[in-house]
Chains A and B, each alone.
Chain A
Amino acid sequence: MKAEDNELLKEFTSGQIDKLNKIISKHKGKPGSLIPVLEEAQVCLEYLPLSVQKKIAKDLNLPLSRVYGVVTFYSFFTMTPRGKHTVRVCLGTACYVRGGKALSETLQKEFGIREGETTPDRMFTLETIRCLGACGLGPVVVVDEDVHGRVKPSKVKEILAQYS
C-alpha cells in the first residue's frame, strides 16, 4: 500500500482501499474513465469524501476540480456517509398540507441534523421527497422500503424504534 493511502485509512479499511486501487487500475488510461471509477468507488466505499476524490484525481491524472465538478453534478454521488437506514419524508402537496412539514421538522430535531444529512452514529439519513403517489395515506414517511402512513409527529419516536 502506498503512503498516500494513509489519509484514506482514517475512513476506510485496507480491504476497501485495495478494491479502490483495483477499480482505478481497471479503468485507468481509457477515455471517459472518471464516471465509471466514481460509480464503482461509491459502491465499494459508500461515499466519496475529499480523500477519495484526491486519490482518484491523482491516479487518473485529472484536476481535482473536475472530479469535484462531476461528483457534485450527479445526484447519485454523495460526499458524506449514508446511514444504515434512509428516512424519507414526503413533502408533496397532499402530505405537505396534512402535516409533512411538521414531520420533517420533528425528524430534524430528533436526529439533530438537517435534510440530506446523516446522524453522527450513521444510523439514519434524512431526505425529503416529492409525492410517492400515496396521497391517501398522507403524511407519509418511508423508512428504507417500509411506508408509514398518517404519521403524527408524536408517533415518530415509536416508528424509529423499530429500526436499529
Chain B
Amino acid sequence: MSTINLTIDNRKVTAEAGTTILEAARSAGIKIPTLCAWTERNHTPGACRVCMTEVEGQRSLIAACVFPVTEGMVVHTNTEKVRKARKMVVELLLANHPQECNFCVRNGSCELQKVAEFAGLKEVRFDYTQFPKEGMIDRSSPSIVRDSRKCIECHRCVTVCDEVQTVSVLTPANRGSKVKVVPAFDLPLVESNCIACGQCIMVCPVGALYEKDDVDLVWKALQDPKKHVIVQEAPAIRAALGEEFGMPPGSLVTGKMIAALRRLGFDKVFDTNFTADLTIIEEGNELLKRVKEGGTLPMITSCSPGWIKFCEHFYPELLPHLSTCKSPQQMFGALAKTYYAETAGIDPKDIVSVSIMPCTAKKFEAQRPEMNSSGYQDVDYVLTTRELGRMIHEGGIDFVNLPDEDYDAPMGEYTGAATIFGATGGVMEAALRTVYAVVTGENLPSLDITPVRGLEGVKEATVKVGSLGDVKIAVAHGLGNARKLMDLIKEGKGGYAFIEVMCCPGGCIAGGGEPIPTNNEIRVLRSSALYKDDGKVQKNRQSHENESVKKLYEKFLKEPLGHKSHKLLHTKYTKRGTELPHTKDE
C-alpha cells in the first residue's frame, strides 16, 4: 500500500492510497458530518451531500465520503462556501421531512438532528412539504413500522437487509424525486419475506423505521386491578438498558432493571434466563437423543425468531434440523400460564405475560398461532429494550440512582450459562457445558469455551465429549453467515453435530430492539457485560445447577423431553416457501 500526502484544513495528513477524503480526515481527527454513510459496512452512496468539502483545483464541491485522496491534494472542510452549501443541503432535507421531532421515536438519537446542529442551522427558508395524512406509514408488520415520509433515502436499510441479512426485502424503487424505499411491488411488509429482525431500524439515521410500539397496551394492563401482570427480560436487556439513561455501553444493570420494573407496577419480576437454563436442559437432551437414535444432524438452535422465520422462508427443506425447542421467551410464556398459575393459585386468564426483548422478531414470535399451548396466548406483549427505556422515562423513575433488587421466585433464578444466551456463541457454550456434564458426569475442564466467543462471522470448534468422541460445532451470527452454513449442510458438507445461529450480527445484544447506536465497539462492550455476569456475578455457571429448574422438573414437568415438555416447551415450524429467493450471483 502506497502512502498519500495531502493537506486537510492546512494540516499535513497522510493516508493510504484508495482511502476517501472522509476516512483520511477522520483518522486525522477532523470531523466532517455525514448522514447517508455507514462506514462500518463501507456503505457510502454519496447520496445526502452533507459531507461536502472544497478541494483546490476542483470546479465544484466534493462529497468527501466517495472521493479518493490523491498526492498533494489540498482539502478545506470548513470554508464559507462549504458551510453555506452544507446548510443548504440540510435545509432542503429538513424541508422535505415531517416537522415531528418533538414526538418522533428518534428524538435525541436522530442523525439528521445532529447534522442540522453541526451545520449551525437556525432556520429553514423553504416551505415544508405537506405529506398526505394516510398511505405513507406501513403498520402491517407486528414488529416494524415503516414511515416513508421520514425516509431520507440513505439506503442503509437496503444494504443491511440485502448484504448483511441476505433477506433482500427492501429496495429503492422508481427514480429521481419519486425514489422510495419499499418491499417489492410496494407490498405491505407483512406480505413480504421480512423476517422482522429489525436490523433496518438499527441503521436508520432517522425515524423512518422503528419498532411497533406496544407500551400503551402494557400501561393499560398495569392499570387494570383485575390483571396479574408478570414480566420476563432477555439476558441482553441487562447489558444494554443503562445506555437509554446515559450509562456507558457495557454497564450491567440487572438489579436496577428489576427495581425499575417493580416501580412500574409489575406484580412479579421474573427472568427469561430461568427458561434459558430450561432450554439448555431440553435442547441438550434433544441433541443427545438425536445423536444416540440417529436423528437429523446437525441440530440447529431455535432461540432466535428472526432466524426461524428466515429458515422457514429460504431453507424450508432444512427445517428438520431445527431443534424443536421453543425459544426461552415462549417456554416462559407457556409455563407462566400453567406452572406459575398453578403454583401461585391464579387463574391463567387473569395473567398478563409481558416480555422485554432486545428483538423485534420476538413480537412476531409471540403472535405465532401455535404459541398458545397454555390455552391462552402464552406471551401477551413484547417490548423492546428501547420501549422499556421510554416507559421508565415516562414513569418518572430515576433509573441511574435505583438500588439493586432481586428477582421473584419461582421463575427468577438463573445461571451464568443462561445469561450468555445474549451474545453470539453463548447458547452453544451453555449447551456444551451441560451436554458434557450429562455425558461424562464431570464438568468441562474449563467452562470458558473461548473459540465460540467474539465477532468472527462463522466460528468452528471441536470438543471432545466423553463417549461421544469429537463433537464438531459451528456458530453463525447475522443471516448472511448463517446462509454459508446452511449451504454447506445442503451439500452434505461440514460434518457438524450442532450449530448455533443467531439472527443479528453479534447476537441478541445487538438485536433490532436494542439501544441506538449499536456498532461493533458497543457489541463487544455489551457482550463482555454478559460474560462478566457469567464469570464473576453468578455463582452457578451451568444450567443443570439451577435449583429452580430442578424443582420445576420435580414438581411439574417430571422429565426432560417428557409428555408435558412436549406439549408446552416444543414446537413445529412452517414452510413459508421460497418464491422470492436471494442470490449470490449478479
Contact = CB atoms under 8 A, between A and B. Distances in A.
A32 B586 contact: yes
A69 B173 contact: yes
A63 interface: yes
A75 B168 CA distance: 23
B171 A65 contact: yes
B488 to A, nearest CB: 18
Contacts of B45: none
A30 B580 CA distance: 20
Given A63-B168, A65-B170, A57 B580 contact: yes
A94 B314 CA distance: 56
Could you say which of A32, A68, A72 has the most chain B C-beta atoms within 10 Å of its C-beta?
Answer: A72
Interface string B123-163: 00000000000000000000000000000000000000010
Contact of A63 (B172, B174, B175, B582): B582
A8 to B, nearest CB: 13
Given A62-B586, A63-B162, A64-B184, A69 B580 contact: no
Given A31-B586, A62-B586, A69 B581 contact: no
A31 B580 CA distance: 19
Size category of the B interface is 20 to 34
A3 B468 CA distance: 46
Given A32-B586, A34-B586, A66-B586, A61 B581 contact: yes
B585 A72 contact: no
A58 B183 CA distance: 16
Contact of B581 (A31, A32, A62): A62
Interface in A4-44: 29, 31-34
B579 interface: yes
B586 A69 contact: no
Contacts of B185: 50, 53, 64, 68
Interface in A40-86: 50, 53-54, 57-58, 60-69, 72-73, 75
Contacts of A75: 175
Contacts of A68: 171, 173, 184-185
A62 B170 CA distance: 13
Given A31-B586, A33-B586, A34-B586, A64 B580 contact: yes
B169 interface: yes
Nearest to A66: B171
A54 B580 CA distance: 7
B583 interface: yes
Majority SS at the chain B contact face: loop
Contacts of B173: 68-69, 72-73
A67 B580 CA distance: 10
Contacts of B581: 57-58, 61-63
Contacts of B171: 63, 65-66, 68-69
Interface in B554-586: 579-586
Contacts of B584: 61
A57 B183 CA distance: 14
B183 A63 contact: no
Contacts of B169: 63, 65
B148 to A, nearest CB: 15
A65 B586 contact: no
Nearest to A69: B171
A73 B582 contact: no
Given A54-B579, A65-B184, A60 B586 contact: yes
Given A58-B579, A64-B580, A65-B183, A31 B168 contact: no
Contacts of B586: 31-34, 60, 62, 66
A33 B585 CA distance: 10
B105 to A, nearest CB: 25
B543 to A, nearest CB: 39
Given A69-B171, A73-B175, A63 B580 contact: yes
Nearest to B173: A72
B583 A73 contact: no
A53 B174 CA distance: 15
A141 B168 CA distance: 43
Nearest to A54: B579
B551 to A, nearest CB: 49
Contacts of A65: 162, 168-171, 183-184, 580
A75 B171 CA distance: 17
Contacts of A54: 579-580
A156 B170 CA distance: 43
A73 B174 contact: yes
Nearest to B174: A72
A32 B585 CA distance: 9
B183 to A, nearest CB: 6
A80 B175 CA distance: 18
13 contacts: A53-B184, A53-B185, A62-B583, A63-B168, A66-B168, A66-B171, A67-B184, A69-B171, A69-B172, A69-B173, A72-B173, A72-B175, A73-B174
Given A58-B581, A64-B579, A68-B173, 8 more contacts: A31-B585, A62-B581, A63-B169, A64-B184, A65-B162, A69-B184, A72-B174, A73-B172
Interface of B: 162, 168-175, 183-185, 579-586
7 smallest beta-carbon distances between A and B, as pairs: A63-B168, A65-B171, A69-B171, A68-B184, A64-B184, A72-B173, A64-B580
